């Protein structure tokens, strides 16, 4: 009866219809404009909050998971530090600090510097040496005596004030890569970066596309690129049953090292490159390279 009443009063029916159509078009146009404005805005997320080690778990050789051996990892003055002032002698109890989240396609950036001196017993190669370990295995799967996680290492090195020593190198505990189209089982390959002497801050960035491609950048310059990450190779004291060779190394955790030289990190940030790629969604991002439409949200 109500519909019949409106139909019998055509001017009123037409007026209401125009209002409804106009309202839908306005809402749709406004949403589309908002999506277009935000789609290319990069949403970087800090994984170090500058206050404490929330979300991070240490694992040292011959120590239980979660034991921050000799208070090595700590937060001081807003910096995440690997420190050795409570070590009398370094006894090859290498440590790593693992972030809780698994990443596959992402960008990571951080600023680091080397400070102070190694404790007695530190290896010569570990002088001014740290690393961002990408695609790290779950620390809960590491054996009690395992020194390094299966991962790909974005190696961070400092100079001694005299000799040339590149940073941003690639090391491969428990994996192999392809460089310049050639498969290699060489454990560490130097980048083409310059040497950074002293205690200066250096910016390290990596662009990670699963197991297919990684670019490593130092102070904005790409210094090494490699592809086709697969498991296998040198990884002493690891459980090879749980870490079989020949599999794509396409995801994992982020970890930083404690190899005997004091190191400061000013920031560690992640830009996820995997997410909603439906342009109709409110959280669509134009820079995503890996689709995960299960994460899409809509108004």
Torsion of CA 47, 48, 52, 56, to 10 degrees: 50
pLDDT of 12 reads 40
pLDDT bucket at 14, cuts 50 / 70 / 90: very low
Residues across the chain: 299
Residue 267 has pLDDT above 70, yes or no: yes
Residue 16 has pLDDT above 80, yes or no: no
DSSP 100: S
Helical H segments across the chain, by residue range: 2-8, 10-38
pLDDT of 143 reads 97
Q: In what order do the strands lie in the sheet with 152-157?
A: 56-60, 95-99, 253-258, 129-136, 152-157, 169-171, 188-189
Residue 22 has pLDDT above 80, yes or no: no
Residue 55 has pLDDT above 50, yes or no: yes
pLDDT of 156 reads 98
CA angle 101, 291, 181 (to 5 degrees): 85
pLDDT of 2 reads 39
Token duo for residue 41:
């805005």
Mean pLDDT of 8-23: 39
Q: What is the pTM of this model?
A: 0.87
Mean pLDDT of 131-160: 98
What ranges do the domains of the chain cover? 45-274
Under DSSP, is residue 50 helix (H, G, I), strand (E, B) or coil?
Answer: coil
Mean pLDDT of 75-92: 97
- Beta strand pairing status for 95-99 and 253-258? antiparallel
Q: How far apart are CA 59 and CA 43, in angstroms?
A: 30
Nearest residue to 62 (alpha-carbon basis) of 138, 181, 165, 143? 143
Q: Which of 24-38, 113-127, 171-185, 210-224 has the lowest mean pLDDT?
A: 24-38
Q: Which of 33-47, 134-148, 187-201 has the lowest mean pLDDT?
A: 33-47
Second-level CATH architecture of 45-274: Sandwich (2.60)
pLDDT of 25 reads 30
Mean pLDDT, all residues of the chain: 90
Q: How far apart are CA 121 and CA 27, in angstroms?
A: 68
Residue with tokens 């309202």: 23
pLDDT of 27 reads 31
Residue 24 has pLDDT above 60, yes or no: no
Q: How far apart are CA 14 and CA 180, in angstroms?
A: 68
Nearest residue to 113 (alpha-carbon basis) of 145, 81, 77? 81
Mean pLDDT of 77-90: 97
pLDDT in tens, 189-232: 999 999 999 999 999 999 999 999 999 999 999 999 999 999 99
Helix (H) or strand (E) holding 228: strand 221-231
Residue 21 has pLDDT above 70, yes or no: no
Q: How far apart are CA 75 and CA 86, in angstroms?
A: 15
């Amino acid at each position: 009866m109500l519909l019949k009443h409106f139909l019998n009063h055509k001017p009123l029916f037409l007026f209401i219809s125009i209002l409804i159509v106009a309202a839908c078009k306005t809402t749709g146009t406004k949403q589309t404009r908002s999506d277009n404005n935000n789609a290319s805005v990069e949403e970087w997320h800090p994984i170090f909050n500058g206050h404490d080690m929330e979300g991070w778990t240490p694992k040292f050789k011959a120590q239980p998971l979660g034991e921050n051996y000799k208070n090595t990892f700590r937060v001081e003055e807003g910096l995440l530090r690997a420190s050795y002032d409570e070590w009398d002698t370094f006894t090859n109890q290498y440590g790593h600090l693992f972030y809780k989240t698994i990443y596959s396609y992402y960008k990571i950036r951080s600023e680091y510097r080397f400070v102070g001196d190694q404790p007695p017993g530190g290896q010569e190669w570990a002088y001014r040496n740290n690393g961002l370990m990408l695609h790290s295995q779950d620390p809960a799967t590491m054996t009690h005596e395992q020194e390094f996680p299966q991962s790909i290492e974005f190696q961070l090195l400092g100079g001694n004030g005299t000799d040339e020593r590149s940073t941003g190198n690639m090391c491969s505990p428990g994996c192999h890569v392809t460089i310049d189209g050639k498969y290699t089982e060489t454990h560490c390959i130097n980048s083409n970066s310059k040497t950074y002497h002293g205690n200066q801050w250096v910016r390290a960035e990596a662009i990670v596309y699963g197991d297919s491609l990684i670019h490593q950048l130092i102070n904005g310059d790409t210094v090494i690129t490699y592809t086709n990450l697969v498991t296998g190779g040198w990884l002493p004291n690891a459980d090879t049953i749980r870490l079989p060779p020949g599999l794509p190394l396409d995801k994992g955790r982020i970890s930083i090292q404690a190899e005997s030289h004091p190191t400061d990190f000013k920031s560690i940030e992640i830009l996820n490159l995997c997410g909603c790629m439906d342009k109709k969604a409110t959280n669509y991002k134009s820079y995503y390279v890996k689709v995960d439409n299960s994460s899409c949200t809509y108004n």
